Every structure is written in structure tokens, then in C-alpha cells.
Structure 1
Amino acid sequence: MRERRWESQTAVSFEEVVAFCRSLKELGLEVKEIDKEVSCYFEEFWIDKLDEIDRLEAWPVDEVTLVQVNDRWEGDFFVLAGSHYDLFRRHLSMEAYLSLSHPWRVPSDLKVKLHQPESMFWVGFRQDHGFIRLRLIPNEIITPGERRGDQRRFSWMSERASLFAAAVDVLDLPLFVEWEKGALSISSEDPASPVSCSWPDAFGPCQFEQIVVDPYQLLVPAARFISRAGLRPGTVRTFFSGFPREVLEGFHRLQ
């Protein structure tokens, strides 16, 4: 399934949404009937305190992910991630999800031209595993199947392979960046710690994620990566889902 998303920089009324859906149908696109029940999500819903989440009670809500933003953070990432994981372990459940993101800077000696010099890094936890996730941000989005950019395919792929390899080197994890038959991939030496690649464009994946059974194994590599490559000060975003309010308050006090 391919998701189609439209964004507006101004407020959109319900009547305008209806008109927009009708115009898409007239163009031959498949659009769900507006009078049927559909799922939707708010990408951003800013609150100043936890009680304001109750403003969502007017709608049937399937899931809420709370994002705590800490601007200009300069602390010890090992302590931050470790304290969050310790509290997470005391409230394990199938629904519980926690991750921390931190921006990182591509090494200047790589002299990137096709990707942003700043990218994103995550370390996260679920009930039965932990993960490290790293994403590159292309300067230009060329979707799979598009022909533009083919003349620079080698440049795109070689630069991306170099960026992934540099990140893997700092993480010091048993991962391998491979480039065979025009395809870029990342694999793990340990079959118990698989790697998945995602967010593809015309030149391959822009993101990889490694999963491990014991999240403690990721705390040192994550802290080492932020210590060497993380932007300081940086904006730390902590993502919470599946926790009751009293537990969220405990996480809030950690920062």
C-alpha cells in the first residue's frame, strides 16, 4: 500500500475536505466515501500539561503518542536513556512503547552534497526488544520509479553508502553496509539481531533499524554515537505510548 498525503499550511474546514475528496474522485483516484467512518490522526497536538490530553475525549481515540521535547539538551545520553529504560521495565506491557531521538551531524570529511548534513537517531524499547534506528535525509526526494536522477545514481548511492558506513563505524555494532547489483543494503552479523531497511527513495533505503532482545546492549553504542556525532546542544524528543498518566509523570521528571 502506498500512502498519499496532502498537507496544508492553513486551516482547512470540513466542507473543504469534502470538496477536495470529490475533486480527487473526479480525477480517477480511489477515495473513501466521506460519509463513512474512517480513521485519521493528528500529527501534532501541543499540550502544556498532561491534563490537556483530556481534550481528546470527545472522539473515540485508538492510540495517543506523547512527544516530550527538550530543546538545547547537553546531558549524558547514557544516563538519560538508561534511566528511561529502567522506568520502562517497571511498567512493561504489550502496548508500551518508548523511544528517544537525538540529531546527529554527518562527519565533515565526507563532504556530503546530496544529503542533509544533519540527520536523526533513535534508541527505543518495547516489551520484548530494543532497537537502534538511524535515518538519512536526502536534499531532494526522488520516489521509486522516477527516472530523474538516474544520471547521478552512482553519486547518490556511493554517498549514501559512505554515510551509513560512517554511522555504523561510530556505533561499533556488527553491521555491514553492502552494495551489490546496484542495490544498497545493511545486514547484521548476528542472526538474533536482525536489521530492517526502510524509507526508500529511488536510490534505496534512507533508514535502517537494528533490533536486539536485550535493550541494555544498545545503551553503550547509543551513548557513544551521540557523544561522537550528536549535535550539542541538541533537541531530544522522547516518544511515549501505552502508559497511564502517573507513569508519564514519572518519565517527565527524568528530564
Structure 2
Amino acid sequence: MGRVDPIPDEPAAVADLGDERALVIADYHAGIEQALRYENGVEVSSRAERRREHVHRLLRRAKADRLVVLGDFMHSIGGPGGAERGEIEVLLESLSTPVTIVKGNHDGDVESVIEQARSPRTPGSIPEVTVTDGSGRRLGDVGFVHGHSWPDGEVLGARTVCMGHEHPRVRLTDEVGGSRVERAWLRGRLVRETFEGRTGVSWNDPELVVFPAFNDLVGGTWINADQEFLCPFLPDGLADGEAYLLDGTRLGSYVDI
């Protein structure tokens, strides 16, 4: 129990919860195309259907019993707009597996979207959906947190802690000066001293797994480019962090890439 295995070539992982297998994704950012259009003047066709089909393919591939979203299910920080409400409702109605959502900093009113999807006036039905606050949730030996706030003590008592929020990326250069930016995983042991004074912590020397963003339209933290982390306990809370590309390529210590 407690294993979290990335799915090769995908921004997603399978978590062993003991009595369940969970497909875990982070930073779905439903409705982002609408925000890009109105906030940045960038015209991008909706990829809602593509994202939904991607989730279904991964659920089948993982043979998952549950879907866990590590926050930022929505994109708007304020009240959710029509595009993201519609995208989330259609996605939930298309699922048959239970869903656990850890609220991120973009999910302030995600409960209203779920309640609307449950409404008798709304066509279709949705599976069991559990929403927890930003301090996270522990299922079996795996803790889940978004990463914009400090984890709950129970989460830190897990063997593995899964986190989103950072959208980690690496900038890779070649011999002739060319470069490219790729999504990446970041993994390493949490440093106990960083969390001293947090209440209810039963320390189990957990590994931290920082997930790449599921949505490929969002930016991210270039973890090897002296860019500051967004999470309040990084980088101090991470020991010997290593970066991996989506295809599984191990890049080694993220500070030395």
C-alpha cells in the first residue's frame, strides 16, 4: 500500500489505496480556453471533449476504482463561468467511478458546480463526489493535497503525499543552444523539520510526488531555472528532489539539471 506509479507518457499516476486503485491527476483547469480568450486575447478552441476523453482512456488503462483530482479542477479563481461549469458537469455525468476532489486555489466555489450537477433539474446523474479543503485528504497510505497551503497532519502521516499546484516543468538545452520546455514529475523525501509544530502529525518519512499539470495549456514552475516555488513548504521541505520526464526519463537532482 502507498505506492504511486506514474503512467508512462501521461500526466497521471495510479495510487494503491489498499482496497482501491485510484487514477490521480492534478490541475485540470476546466474552461481555461474562455479565460485565455477574455484575459489574454488568445483564441483557443475548446479542448473540453479532448480532456474528458483523455480521463476516460486513463481510467480504463489504470483499471481505476476512483478518480482523485489534486486541486484546480476549475480555472476561474472567482465564481465559475459557464464554460467551466458546463465542462465539469458533462465530465461528472460521464463518469461511473467515485471522485475525490482536493480543493485548490482555483476551486473556491466548486461545490456549487457539483450541487448544480446533482440537481433534479439537471439531465443525467453523477457518481459520488467528495470535496475536501486545501489541507488535503488521506486515503489508505496515500495523502492528497493541492499544495497552495500546508497539509493536514493526517496527510503527512501517509507513506506517500501527492501534490499538484506547481505544474513542474524543466527547460532542456542541447549542444547548439536550442531549448525546449517539458512537463515533469518531481519526487523526493519530505523534511520532517519543515513541518515541526504542525498539529496531529504522525510522521512516516513520506515521499512527496509533485504532479505535472494535466492541462497542457497552463504554464508552470521551471524547477531547474532558479524559479521560486509557489508552495509554502518548498523547496525547504523537500530532500533530494529528483525530476523525471513524462516518458520516465530520470533527470537526476532537479537543482543540477
TM-score, structure 2 as length reference: 0.25
Greater share of residues in helix: 1
TM-score, structure 1 as length reference: 0.25
Larger RCO: 1 or 2 (CA < 8 Å, sep 6+): 1
